[in-house]
Structure 1
Amino acid sequence: MSSEETRIEEELVEEAMKAEDAGSVEKEIEKGDKEAAETDACAEDAAEEKTGEEEPAEETQAEPEKKGFFGKKKEKKDPKDAKIEELTDRLQRNMAEFDNYRKRTEKEKSAMFEIGARDIIEKILPVVDNFERGLAAVPEEDKGAPFAEGMEKIYRQLMKTLEDAGVKPIEAVGQPFDPNFHNAVMHIDDESLGENTIAMELQKGYTYRDTVVRHSMVQVAN
């Protein structure tokens, strides 16, 4: 073999080796890229798994702060709002207590007025009785005299005043006996009257606003 052929053969061998080395490098590069891609994919999966695990933990930690009893959301009140609610509740309580006090005092005043009025009426009734007895004692021929007429007018004025104040006489003669309004002090046998019928009124009774001030003293037929 000549030196020229030897040189050419060496060059061919050298080029073949270079080509083989280049192919190995490319394979190594492809292998490295593949491994890197696989590493990135694993890292992404691990990140996703970590994110999925951490999110519920954060939600669990935040949940007790946001929720109160029975799963309801607990809101933090403003101190000003709490103070306003406290003052409003106190005002409503005071208004309710004052309204109850006003009603109670009005009821007490009404009761005191009723007691005072009944006491005065009870003291006036004997005066009315004396007026009636005096007018009944006037003879028929003297009833037209100025004095008798004056006494009659005063009596009518007094009765009108009592009536306007709520005082009314109790009906008795000819009415059935009622122990709520009448006080039977005498009994009489009279066939012309029904049983337990009032035959005579001995003293007139009166009511004040539908309550008895004085019972009528009556004579009842059996």
Structure 2
Amino acid sequence: MARRTKLATFALLDATEVVELIALAGFDTVILDAEHGPLGLPQLAQLVVAARSRDLPALVRVASNDAQAIGAALDLGADGVLVPQIASLADAERAVAAARFAPAGHRGANPFVRAAGFAGSPEWFANANKSTEVHLMIEGEAGLDALDAILATSRCDGIFVGPVDLSHALGVPGELDHPTVVEAAAGIIAAAQAAGVSAGVFATEIEAARRWAARGADMVALGTDTHWTLRGFQTAVTAFTRT
């Protein structure tokens, strides 16, 4: 592959050591999950610091498309946000505007936060607008219908396929490899590529991740910290009981 797909994973656990282990394992990005994990702002703050200490880029999947949640995650020093359940162009524009300072958006402005190095530099605002990533999750039929408009006008940095919710929306709950889900996800990735927008996707298995990379995904989020921890323990128990 001429282009290298970034490998990410989701972190649901409130453990700075897990974030460090993700970095040491060689992942390119960690996605701190405030939608499905028990992570509030105090926990996210510590996990972002842990990621920074290991030079690991960190995105925060916020719990919802909420301007305060998006701004707070970015103030903590996250490199960007992953916003779930984008179902319309209005949803997309709302998420992007919440992550950008005026005049590009309406993110609350405070240059004395971690993201700004606590320094109060007025130059930071323009730099943050350029460097902060906003990835939008397409997870349902409404999002699929609005995809072309989102890609054309929302100014997002990336589109991310949420195949678990998508499988429910398409009538095959939990069947991530179902042809209907795969076709829809592949269509999202192709549309993002055509628009020059980064495309990401979640995969639970390594072979699926490889297939999405071959199809042009710029980022594949492979499993979760809970998923890999359980598998590691299961592998150890299985190996022991077979001896």
Question: TM (normalized to structure 2)?
Answer: 0.20
Q: Which has the higher contact order (CA 8 A, sep 6+)?
A: 2
Q: Which has the larger radius of gyration?
A: 1
More helix as a share of residues: 1
